[in-house]
Amino acid sequence: MTRWLLLCALGAFVVSLQIHETEAQRSRVCFAQSGDYSTNTAMGFCSQAIYMALTPTSRGLLGLVNSANDADDIMGGIKKFTSRKTTYSYLELYLGMVGSVAAGNIAWLNNPTTRASFIQLVIEKLKVYPEMTGLYVDFEGMTSTFTANYAAFLTTLKTELDKINVKLATALPYDALTYAGVYYNTVLPTLPFNVLKTYEDMYATSTTVTHPIALLYSLAAPFNVDSKTISNNVFRWVIAGLPTSNIILGLPMYSLKFTASGATNFNAAATAVVKDTYCIAFRFNKHCGR
């Protein structure tokens, strides 16, 4: 008999480990891809909303994740996103930018001239949308060859953003054992928040067995790798130099759906592992309840 094992998880928002209340403790940071923030989305639950719309090109120009939806500055998706500020005046809107080594679109970080010109392109883009509170940067897969230049990039970017009264926030890879020494720099503790990407599937390579998504602590083998737990990653980022007051803990906003024959536990054989849409951008519906 085939059964569906549904691993439900809630959206991405924050918890901080300090006793005294901080900005991070009061934050609920929501993410969405282009077009996800609609009039049916419960954005009122969020304190910061990030719209992942920007991406660099391999030549250090500024591109869009979804040009069909966001290219029009007046009628496109970014403008529709900023219009939600009218309804939720307290909401801080962030324009998200994503790039990666794998995509080949952040190598220009190691070129000072291109780095400077790219920052100016970002500044000009943000000036089009004065409703934006901040910019969120998520560059994936960097190695030690990027460390110094990534720090220089963030330093200059923050200086330029300060001039137009726009905040900066960044993404932290969840695998701190591998990446903390690469990504950490002295700019990060000065930012309002940095999002630890523990909302990602930490056992994504386990494609043939039922598995958890994001673990607070390790489970029984084979899900007992400490470097893949939220607790271990928070510890390592704190040791690297980040105060807990500006670390955002990401929680998955999707579920994994497995087709398994008689499976009743983790690590049971499964087929058709699917990342299921779940409460995207806190859109409450019959699947999410109230």
pLDDT at 169: 98
Domain that holds residue 85: 10-196+241-253
Residues of the chain above pLDDT 90, percent: 59
pLDDT at 30: 86
Number of domains in the chain: 1
CB of 213 closer than 8 Å to CB of 205: no
Residue 89: HSE in the Cβ half-sphere, 13 Å Cα cutoff: 0
State which H helix or E strand residue 118 sits in. Answer: helix 112-128
Residue with the bigger pLDDT between 85 and 122: it is 122
Q: How far is CA 19 from CA 25, 70, 109, 158, 207, in A?
A: 10, 41, 38, 29, 39
Position 18 in a domain: yes
Position 227 in a domain: no
pTM: 0.84
Position 275 in a domain: no
Position 247 in a domain: yes
Position 87 in a domain: yes
- Lowest-confidence segment of 21-30, 186-195, 235-244, 248-257 by average pLDDT: 21-30
Position 144 in a domain: yes
- pLDDT band at 134, cuts 50/70/90? very high
- Lowest-confidence segment of 21-25, 54-58, 86-90 by average pLDDT: 21-25
- pLDDT band at 257, cuts 50/70/90? low
Position 158 in a domain: yes
**pLDDT of 108 over the 60 cut:** yes
pLDDT tens-digit series, residues 35-80 = 666 666 667 788 999 999 999 999 999 999 999 999 999 999 999 9
**pLDDT of 125 over the 90 cut:** yes
DSSP 8-state class, residue 191: S
Mean pLDDT value across residues 150-155: 99
Query: Domain holding 45: CATH number?
Result: 3.20.20.80
Position 103 in a domain: yes
Distance CA 94, CA 29 (A): 10
